[in-house]
Amino acid sequence: MGREAILKSVQKNKPTLLPLPEIDFSLFEEELNLLETFKEKVALVGASIVELNATTEIDAEIKKRYPNAKDIATCTQKSSLETVSISKKTDPHTIASIDLVVIEGEFGVAENGAIWITENEFPIRVLPFITNDLVIVLDKQKLCANLHEAYKLIANRDHNFGLFIAGPSKTADIEQCLVIGAQGAMSLTVLLV
């Protein structure tokens, strides 16, 4: 069966679209300390989290945590540690040696410790995945309770690419052995400012 025949068969047998279910979001409302819950969940998914007093402390904290990082890309004005300049014109194949990437998150989700990032925060989509270590700088005032709220926040997108990151890359589906850094960064540090 050729490609065209397969596509015609799929089109012919396409099921009728059903409306999305209506959800009573009031069922998910709860009193919680967003900041403390977020910090607990970030730690639970294997990331490090540090609450700083000011943006001026960011570089010192990064140097303390990653003293051996040499090839550093920073996609935020809040850090001056950049040793590798990255732009939209950079060939992604030339940045395989990146040790550390520092980017800003748009907001965090207390429910699961996830952080929403988009291509507005970094010029090359592969950056958060190709680096050995990832640092996300996040405004501690920009937290929401759960993914229902998060999806409302991203409903009116002004970008083509975005994702939630929760912890370092990990998988345990091969022989039920946990592997850190399987498809991305081996460590994630969240700096709350």
67-110 pLDDT tens trace:
999 999 999 999 999 999 988 889 888 888 899 999 999 999 99
pTM for the whole structure:
0.85
User: Is 27 within the bounds of a domain?
Assistant: no
Cα–Cα distance measured from residue 114 to residue 137, given in angstroms and rounded to the nearest whole number: 13
User: Is 52 within the bounds of a domain?
Assistant: yes
- For residue 156, the model assigns a pLDDT of 83
User: Does the structure show a pLDDT above 80 at 21?
Assistant: yes
What value, to the nearest 5°, has the Cα angle with vertex 162 and ends 135 and 14? 145
Cα–Cα distance measured from residue 115 to residue 104, given in angstroms and rounded to the nearest whole number: 10
Residue whose token pair is 């800003």: 104
User: Is 15 within the bounds of a domain?
Assistant: no
Q: What is the pLDDT of residues 130-153, one digit of tens each?
A: 999 999 999 999 999 999 999 999
Q: Contact 78/193 with Cβ under 8 angstroms?
A: yes
Q: What single letter denotes the amino acid at residue 108?
A: G
Q: Are strands 179-180 and 170-171 parallel, antiparallel or unpaired?
A: antiparallel
User: Does the structure show a pLDDT above 70 at 174?
Assistant: no
| 3-class DSSP assignment, residue 74 | strand
CATH at 123: 3.40.50.10420
User: Is 180 within the bounds of a domain?
Assistant: yes
Q: Contact 79/191 with Cβ under 8 angstroms?
A: no
- For residue 158, the model assigns a pLDDT of 77
User: Is 153 within the bounds of a domain?
Assistant: yes
User: Is 162 within the bounds of a domain?
Assistant: yes
Number of domains in the chain: 1
Q: Contact 108/38 with Cβ under 8 angstroms?
A: yes
